[in-house]
Amino acid sequence: MASNQQNRPRIGELAKDRDSGRIGVVMGALGGRVQLRPVDGGIEWDAMPDKVTALRAREELSARLAVRNGNSRTGL
């Protein structure tokens, strides 16, 4: 399989961990793993770099909208 280096998200961008299906913000890399933080905050998790991909526009919009909706329900 070809490298998706050009498709790898940078720090601060939203990304998907294909192993867990979770979406998070790329916080950095340490020890050969990518560190992701949930979009709505919380504890970071580690993912294998080859399993982390940039979101498509529709996925990113959906993730951001879910956070906004959650915030509006809690009064944030």
| pLDDT tens-digit series, residues 39-71 | 888 999 999 999 999 999 999 999 889 888 888
**pLDDT at position 1:** 40
Q: How many domains does the chain have?
A: 1
- Specify whether the CB–CB gap between 9 and 53 falls below 8 A: yes
Residue 35 located in a structural domain: yes
**DSSP strand E in 1-76: where?**
14-17, 22-30, 33-38, 45-47, 52-54
Residue 76 located in a structural domain: no
Q: Whole domain around residue 21: which residue ranges?
A: 5-71
| pLDDT tens-digit series, residues 6-43 | 578 999 999 999 999 999 999 999 999 999 999 888 99
Q: Is residue 2 packed enough to be buried (19+ CB in 10 Å), middle (13-18) or exposed (0-12)?
A: exposed
Residue 63 located in a structural domain: yes
Domain at 61, CATH number: 2.30.30.140
d(CA 55, CA 4): 13
Residue 31 located in a structural domain: yes
- Specify whether the CB–CB gap between 35 and 46 falls below 8 A: yes
